[in-house]
Structure 1
Amino acid sequence: MANNGSSRAVGAGRALIAVYAILALAATARSFVQIVGKFDVAPVAYVLSGIAGLVYILATVALLRRGDTWYRIAWITIIFELVGVLTVGTLSVVDPVLFPADTVWSFFGRGYLFIPLALPVLGMLWLYRRRPAATPEDAAS
């Protein structure tokens, strides 16, 4: 179903956005505590958790906002999130020494019940279903 500029915060989108908001809060708060309290233990892991938190915040905002620009930002953040969770997840399994402390994306989000692995897939499916309608100008080009 195509959608031109209307909110994506309808139906299942509300639940999806709520999960993004909760994960944004959890990841950001956890990384803040880790960076402030024990940064020297695992700086890379804690910075990655901070980046993940920021990505979740931006994805939440982008999913809430209307318009083509926010739609594209939502895609970018969710693709970045998927690449991040797959990369960090794989590296943490193959060489756990690289991550002496867990990140949001370590072991594919194991510490968050694997929600970080499922969420970008669900987000991309939702975005695809709520894609903006093509305009006559788009068809002509």
Structure 2
Amino acid sequence: MSDQPSAGTTARPADAALSSGVGRVLLLVYGVFALSASARALVQISTHFSEAPLAYLLSALAGLVYIAATVGLARGGPRGRMLALISCTIELVGVLVIGTLSIIDTGDFPDATVWSNFGSGYGYVPLVLPFVGLWWIYRHRPTP
């Protein structure tokens, strides 16, 4: 099974859509968040894990989700699109659920995660990013 569109389809290749404009910015932002969330989690877990284990593990999960989304967007094709779609969906659910829980029950979140308070520590980019990612995936879907 090939990741390339079959002859006769009019699908826009993901690599062309990622080479300029919103696609390039989206890939860059996901890459930055993959690095920053993963690095943050690594430092938190390795230096003071016992202070807020749930928050630090959720930061690590966010880092993995951002890595998967970045890889999926960069790879393109059906498998890459599916990986990006799943990652952006998990990201959206995560930021909404963790954002809500971190406001309702601050006791479970003595330290912030990437998704705490809907990503307020990152300028609310974690709240907006999955919507933009899902829109981009939908907008650049293969057409029959």
TM-score (norm. length: structure 2): 0.88
Alignment of 1:5-24 (within 5 A): 5-7=13-15, 8-10=17-19, 11-24=21-34
Supply the AA of the counterpart residue of 2:18: A
Runs of 4+ in 1 over 2 A off after TM superposition: 2-6
Deviation at 1:4, TM superposition (A): 4.7
In structure 2, what is the equivalent of residue 138 of structure 1?
none
Aligned-residue RMSD, C-alpha: 1.2
Structure 2 counterpart of 1:105, one-letter code? W
Q: Which residue of 1 aligns with 2:91?
A: 81
Q: Which amino acid aligns with 2:63?
A: G
Distance 2:39 2:81 in 1: 26
Change (3 A) 1:114 1:5: same
Residue 9 of structure 1 and its aligned partner are, at CA, apart by 1.1
> For the residues of structure 2 that align with 1:56 and 1:121, how far apart are their CA atoms?
14
Gaps of 5+ in 2: 1-9
Q: Which amino acid aligns with 1:93?
A: I
Q: Which amino acid aligns with 2:11?
A: N
What count of residue pairs does the alignment treat as equivalent? 133
Q: Secondary structure at the match of 1:3?
A: coil
Q: Name the structure 2 match of 1:62.
A: 72
8 Å contact from structure 2 (residues 14, 73) kept in 1: no
Offset, 1:66: 2.2
CA distance in 1, matches of 2:67, 2:85: 14
Q: Deviations over 1:8-64 (max 9, x none)?
A: 413210001100101111100000000000000000100000010010011001001
Output the TM-score relative to the length of structure 1. 0.90
Contact 1:85 1:105 in 2 (8 A): yes
Q: Percent identity?
A: 50
Per the TM alignment, residue 98 of structure 1 is displaced from its structure 2 partner at its CA by 1.2
In structure 1, runs of 5+ residues without a counterpart are: 135-141
